[in-house]
Amino acid sequence: MVKSSVKSDTVEFIDHLERREAIGKFCEYLFLFGLLIGLFVLALLVLNIAHDGLGRLLTPGFLTETPSRFPERGGIRPAIIGSFYLGIIVLLVAVPIGVGSALYLEEYAPKTWWTALIEVNIGNLAGVPSIVYGLLGLAVFNYTLHGYNLHFLLKDNNIV
């Protein structure tokens, strides 16, 4: 009697495993189908943006003109120059501070709880995308400055 109950338990277990494998295969195909639909929609969006935007991007004034009230005539020259200058300034400030801090922490700083805390924070900073820090800084400064911004630079919705 014990043998037959063991056999029936084994058969039930095998049936249960087969059912789970069938459900797993169904879910695998369902998720693959969803992935293909998502990739198809993404491809449509990219092609639509490329079709609508390549004509504007290939005009000679796009990279050399300043922004305009009329988007079809505006360019991105100030944005490119500003990004270049900002990159240079950041390199000149951040690299010496970063290298100096790293050398100090690794070579000269005593191993205390404070340096351990700093090293943990450096590891955490490296693991968080910079956009998160940008949004956090925006929120903190906006709250600190009570909503003041560079509105004095705006005149008729254009940067003066």
Give the per-residue pLDDT at 159: 47
Residue of 30 and 138 predicted with greater confidence: 30
Residue 109, φ and ψ in degrees, nearest 5: -70, 135
Residue 76 burial (C-beta neighbours within 10 Å; 0-12, 13-18, 19+) = middle
Q: Outline where DSSP puts E strands in the chain.
A: 154-155, 158-159
The pLDDT score that the predictor gives to residue 9 is 77
Residues with Cβ within 8 Å of 142's Cβ and at least 6 positions away in sequence, in order, are: 149
More confident residue, 67 or 153: 67
Q: Which residue has the tokens 């109950």?
A: 5
Burial 31-53 (b: 16+ CB within 10 A, else e): eeeeeeeeeeeeeeeeeeeeeee
How far is CA 4 from each of CA 9, 10, 13, 18, rounded to the nearest angstrom?
Answer: 9, 10, 14, 21
User: Residues 98-147: pLDDT tens digits?
Assistant: 999 999 999 999 999 999 999 898 888 888 898 998 888 888 877 777 76
- Spatial contact of 65 and 75, defined as CB atoms under 8 Å apart: yes
**Mean pLDDT throughout 26-40?**
97
pTM comes to 0.49
